[in-house]
A and B are shown apart, each in its own frame.
Chain A
């Protein structure tokens, strides 16, 4: 009894490509290359979509920062997770994107914001999404379901952003009496360190209808971030599918 046609094709593929694919040196080159591509992609997307909310401590408020940054920051991790899981069965796509994003952002903040334009680093540090990225990958690995990963992983991504960044922002929320006003330390940084291209009036701090929820304000923001993260998670999946998985699949069939 002969082998099924598909299995024969697979065996053929293994024989043809194993000389290249099984060599660890190619793995090293691949991972090294991917690292730089992901750093670049994650950084550019994040700069364009989250921008000022992640640049300055006085923009990192309780409403828009935990809403905009995780929602916009999920697109590339989601795309990379889709690619890594679909093509390689590796549950590290989101983690890789989050780690690369942190590297890219620190390089940007250190050389650009601090080195080039002289802002102190404690005013321009980036957020982190590494812990929730790990949870997103682990949930996918456990469930092997995009739907369940969306429901639990993407929602944790939005819900926990404020918690994972709380030790980072906490020093900058300590009050200061300044000019007869009580300001947060972050406000004083924004007041003192001149930003000629980011005027004060475009800073959006806790503006919007969420205030109607009074004391549950931060919780409502986190829940809203979780729900909107569903959409950005699927948007990322779509990008991963259209820009990577489908073209790679076509290429593999051709070769």
Chain B
């Protein structure tokens, strides 16, 4: 076998191995987003997907509702959140965003946001492409990037009829946004392209490389004749007339055009009744049990006793084990789990033992700020709920650091 054949065979083997051993890329790599970003920037909660099902077909709609809080613990090494918008993370235009509401207001573009504020959102999407993919609500923050909420798998089947996206223009015409205006664009491109091609062909039907010799000899007049200059004048007139035609066509066929619009505002604040305050005494991780333990001082300023119900961080909810349903995915132990009476300040220990810390690459061990943050929820017997940000440095030991780093390397591999 010749050396070339051997190299070719090696190349084919390399390509085959690369393709066959590559894992399937699914979801959006949310676990690859640095842990500290997910823990300390935004917490999503009360997120619902309606209808809450996996099977859809092209053209079906789904509404995603929920709330998010931009945490006071926003990391100092990430740009301050000022401009952002709520959207959906999906494989590009596989879904169409039809509506986007924040705090009850329709938001056509980005909004002005602030740390510490809570935003109630509703996003309505239409499934455009068939396939199985993950859909998340997300907050895209200027200079910080996308911060995503909990995901939901959908399996979208092809519709028997071609997908259309009808929209009614202000002039009353209903058009399909999938192909509206495309004929006009392609038509004018072809006209301009044809004129350009005629000019090129006019010159390229004659010898090309041989011209170089005449140029070297300075015989310029033989290369560009009077006839060529007249041809140039003709093509210039044709171009001018076509430009005028295009201008006239645009003005007559599409009258009343407006420039692109930018609406940017700060949505009205949600009215929240806070009656509990929190102070974290300590937060530790490990050793080796995949457990976060937080001691929190909770003061009840309300008129009814309250109980700790939930801790939410990033897009994960840990429910008080005593209140959890059988299908609750993540739970925590609250100790003591007694009610906090009005005016009382109680120290409560939260134990969050869950493989999700390492499985989702959440622990910020390799970051400049090793700390834990999230929202702690309490509720009184009347159903009134309150929540607040808790954040604290995360203490750990050397053995745990080594273990986490080893797991992280495995995760990256």
Which of A's residues lie within 8 Å of B, judged by CB? 7, 10, 13-14, 17-18, 20-22, 24, 26-27, 30-31, 58-62, 86-92, 95-96, 98-99, 102, 106, 117-122, 125, 128, 130-131, 133-135, 137-138, 141-142, 144, 160, 163-164, 166-189, 191-196, 199-203, 205-206, 252
In the complex, the answer to whether A173 meets B257 with C-beta atoms within 8 Å is: yes
Query: CB < 8 Å: which of A13, A95, A173 contacts B258?
Result: A173
Q: Which of A31, A142, A167, A199 has the most CB of B within 10 A?
A: A167
In the complex, the answer to whether A201 meets B85 with C-beta atoms within 8 Å is: yes
- Which residue of chain B has its CB nearest to the CB of A34? B208
Q: Which of A179, A188, A191, A192 has the most CB of B within 10 A?
A: A192
In the complex, the answer to whether A99 meets B197 with C-beta atoms within 8 Å is: yes
10 new A-B contacts, CB < 8 A, other than A87-B215, A138-B232, A167-B250, are A91-B228, A99-B193, A102-B192, A120-B179, A168-B189, A176-B168, A200-B110, A201-B83, A201-B84, A202-B142
- Which residue of chain A has its CB nearest to the CB of B237? A138
In the complex, the answer to whether B212 meets A167 with C-beta atoms within 8 Å is: no
- Which one of B92-100, B150-158, B266-274, B286-294 contacts A? B92-100
Q: A184 to chain B: which residues have CB within 8 Å?
A: 257-261
In the complex, the answer to whether B97 meets A194 with C-beta atoms within 8 Å is: yes
B324 at the interface (CB under 8 A from A): no
A-B contact pairs, 12 of them (CB 8 A): A58-B260, A88-B223, A89-B220, A117-B93, A131-B195, A164-B192, A168-B184, A172-B181, A173-B257, A183-B108, A187-B108, A187-B260
Q: Tell me the complex Cα distance, A3–B159, Å.
A: 81
* B270 smallest CB distance to A (angstroms): 20
Q: B88 to chain A: which residues have CB within 8 Å?
A: 194
Q: Tell me the complex Cα distance, A228–B88, Å.
A: 39
In the complex, the answer to whether A89 meets B92 with C-beta atoms within 8 Å is: no
In the complex, the answer to whether A95 meets B196 with C-beta atoms within 8 Å is: yes
Q: Which 6 A-B pairs have the closest CB atoms?
A: A173-B257, A171-B181, A179-B106, A170-B250, A170-B254, A89-B223
- Which residue of chain B has its CB nearest to the CB of A103? B193
Q: Tell me the complex Cα distance, A164–B83, Å.
A: 35
In the complex, the answer to whether B92 meets A119 with C-beta atoms within 8 Å is: yes
B90 at the interface (CB under 8 A from A): yes
* A183 smallest CB distance to B (angstroms): 5
Q: A178 to chain B: which residues have CB within 8 Å?
A: 108
In the complex, the answer to whether B243 meets A89 with C-beta atoms within 8 Å is: no
Q: Tell me the complex Cα distance, A196–B148, Å.
A: 11
In the complex, the answer to whether A166 meets B246 with C-beta atoms within 8 Å is: yes
B253 at the interface (CB under 8 A from A): yes
* Majority secondary structure, A binding face: helix
* A33 smallest CB distance to B (angstroms): 12
B31 at the interface (CB under 8 A from A): no
Q: B196 to chain A: which residues have CB within 8 Å?
A: 95, 98-99, 102, 130-131, 133-134
Number of interface residues of B (CB under 8 A): 89
- Which residue of chain B has its CB nearest to the CB of A164? B243
Q: A10 to chain B: which residues have CB within 8 Å?
A: 213, 216-217
Given contacts A98-B196, A131-B242, A201-B142, contact A206 B254 (CB under 8 A): no
- Which one of B47-55, B169-177, B347-355, B396-404 contacts A? B169-177
- How many A-B pairs with Cβ below 8 Å? 280
* B65 smallest CB distance to A (angstroms): 17
In the complex, the answer to whether B203 meets A91 with C-beta atoms within 8 Å is: yes
**Binary flags per residue of B180-218, CB closer than 8 Å to A gives 1, else 0:** 111011101100110111011001100111111111110
Given contacts A17-B213, A166-B247, A192-B98, contact A122 B180 (CB under 8 A): yes
Q: A102 to chain B: which residues have CB within 8 Å?
A: 189, 192-193, 196
In the complex, the answer to whether B193 meets A130 with C-beta atoms within 8 Å is: yes
Q: Tell me the complex Cα distance, A201–B146, Å.
A: 12
Query: CB < 8 Å: which of A18, A86, A95 contacts B200?
Result: A95
* A54 smallest CB distance to B (angstroms): 13
Given contacts A27-B208, A138-B233, A170-B250, contact A195 B92 (CB under 8 A): yes
- Which residue of chain B has its CB nearest to the CB of A17? B213
Q: Tell me the complex Cα distance, A65–B326, Å.
A: 57
Query: CB < 8 Å: which of A99, A118, A142 contacts B93?
Result: A118
Q: A58 to chain B: which residues have CB within 8 Å?
A: 260
In the complex, the answer to whether A194 meets B261 with C-beta atoms within 8 Å is: no
Q: Tell me the complex Cα distance, A214–B14, Å.
A: 61
Q: Which of B94, B195, B199 has the most CB of A within 10 A?
A: B199
* B261 smallest CB distance to A (angstroms): 5
* B194 smallest CB distance to A (angstroms): 9
B235 at the interface (CB under 8 A from A): yes
Q: A181 to chain B: which residues have CB within 8 Å?
A: 106, 108, 261, 263
In the complex, the answer to whether B261 meets A182 with C-beta atoms within 8 Å is: yes
In the complex, the answer to whether A118 meets B92 with C-beta atoms within 8 Å is: yes
Query: CB < 8 Å: which of A92, A173, A176, A189 contacts B203?
Result: A92
Query: CB < 8 Å: which of A27, A95, A171 contacts B180?
Result: A171
* A93 smallest CB distance to B (angstroms): 10
In the complex, the answer to whether B170 meets A90 with C-beta atoms within 8 Å is: no
- Which residue of chain A has its CB nearest to the CB of B239? A131
B309 at the interface (CB under 8 A from A): no
Q: B210 to chain A: which residues have CB within 8 Å?
A: 18, 21-22, 27
**Binary flags per residue of B106-145, CB closer than 8 Å to A gives 1, else 0:** 1011100000000000000000110000000000101000
Q: Tell me the complex Cα distance, A176–B170, Å.
A: 5
- Which residue of chain B has its CB nearest to the CB of A168? B185
Q: Tell me the complex Cα distance, A203–B209, Å.
A: 46
B338 at the interface (CB under 8 A from A): no
- Which residue of chain B has its CB nearest to the CB of A206? B259
Q: B89 to chain A: which residues have CB within 8 Å?
A: 196
In the complex, the answer to whether A14 meets B177 with C-beta atoms within 8 Å is: no
In the complex, the answer to whether B258 meets A175 with C-beta atoms within 8 Å is: yes
